[in-house]
Structure 1
C-alpha cells in the first residue's frame, strides 16, 4: 500500500518526503486554510508542493460548484504542474466534469465518498483516484472500516478502461485517524492511505519499540562506561 500525506503544510511534506516513504500528497480547502494561506497564493502554494514531491501525484481541490466551472478550474489547476491531480467532491455536477477532464487525460481524485454507489459512479465517470472516508463515519458512531471494505470490494469487481496503463482507479483511504485505520485498509487491499502527519508519526511508533530503544541505550551505556 502507498502512503500519501494529507496536509498542505510545506514543512510536514518536506519531512515526510525525507523519510523515503511518500507516494503523493492530498490537500483540501480546510488544510490550506490551516496554513494561513491566502486565495491569491493558493496556486503558487500548490506549485511549491509539487516541486517538493516532483513526479508524485498532488491533489489540489477545486472549489467550483457547476460542471462548467469545475472543468475550467480543473484545467487551470492541471496546467500548474504535471503531477497535479484535480480533486472534486462527488456530486451531480462533478461526474460530468470528471468525465470531461478524464477524456483530456487530466486525473481526478473524487473525494467525500461515503458509499459504494458513489464510488462506482466515480469510477465509471473516469476518476483516477477515489477517496472513501473512514474517520468521519466513526465520528457519527458508524463503522468507517466496514464502509471502506464495501467500497473496495465493489470497485475492484470491475474494469473501467480509463486508466488501464496506470492501473486505476485506485482507492485512497481518507479521513485516517489511527494506525489501525492504516492496518485495516492495507488488509482490505486499499491502494493508498492518505494520512495526516500526526497520524503518520504514530505509525512509526509502538510502546514496545520505545521500551526496547531505552533498554538498548541503557545497556550500551554500560558497555561504553566499562
Structure 2
C-alpha cells in the first residue's frame, strides 16, 4: 500500500519525504487556506513547490462545479507538473470531467466518495484514483473501512484499474485496517503514519537492550 500525506504544509511534506516512505501528496482548498496560501497565482506556485519535493502523484483540486470550469481548471493544473493528478468532486459534471480528462490522458482523483455506487461511476469514467472518506463515514456511525473493502472487491471482480485511495484517515488503526482489506493507497496526516511506529513492547525491549549494552 502506498502512503500519501494529506497536507499543504511544505515542512511536513519534506519530513515525510526524508522519512523515506512517502509516495505522494493530497491537498485541497481547506488545507491551502490553513497554510495561508491565498490567490490563484500563489496556489499554483505552491503546487509546484510540492512537486519539487515529492517524487510521486500530487492531487490538486478544482474549485469549479460545472463541466466547463472543471476542465479549464484541470488543464491548467495538469500543465504545472507531470506529477499533478486533477482532483475532481463526485458530482454529475465531475464524472463528465473525469471522462474528458481520461480521454486526454490526464490523471484524476475522484474525491468525496461515500458509496460503492459512486465508486463504480468514477471507475467507469476512467478515474485514476477514487477517494472514499472513511473517517467521515465513521462519524455517521457506519464503517468506512467496510466501504473500502466493498469497493476493492467490486473493482477486482470487474477488472477496473482505478486505484482505491483511503482518505479521511484519522489514526494508525485506520491505516492497518485499510491495508488488510486491500486499499491501494492511504492518505493521512504525518502523525498517523508516525503513529505506526509506536508499541509499548518496543519501548520496553529497547530500554532492556540499552541497559544490557551498558553492562557489556
TM (norm. structure 2) is 0.95
Matched, 1:214 2:207: yes
Please list every run of 5 or more consecutive structure 2 residues that lacks an aligned counterpart in the other structure: none
Find the counterpart in structure 2 of residue 101 from structure 1.
101
In structure 1, stretches of 5+ residues that fail to align are 161-167
Match of 2:196 in 1: 203
Deviations 1:146-195 (A, max 9, x none): 122112212222134xxxxxxx3111011111222111111111111112
Q: Please say if residues 149 and 188 of structure 1, whose CA atoms lie closer than 8 Å, have aligned partners that are also in contact.
A: yes
Q: How far apart are 1:31 and its partner, in Å? A: 1.4
Q: Tell whether the 8 Å contact from 1:133 to 1:148 is kept in structure 2 after alignment.
A: no
Alignment of 1:32-181 (within 5 A): 32-39=32-39, 40-54=41-55, 56-160=56-160, 168-181=161-174
| Residue-pair matches, total | 215
- Contact 2:148-2:164 within 8 A present in 1 as well: no
> Over the residues paired in the alignment, what is the CA RMSD in angstroms?
1.3
Aligned equivalents of 1:209 and 1:33: distance in 2? 38
Deviates more, 1:110-119 or 1:24-33: 24-33
| SS of aligned partner of 1:124 | helix
Alpha-carbon shift at residue 130 of structure 1 (Å):
0.6
Question: So what's the TM-score if we normalise by structure 1?
Answer: 0.91
SS in 2 for 1:59: strand
Distance 2:150 2:159 in 1: 17
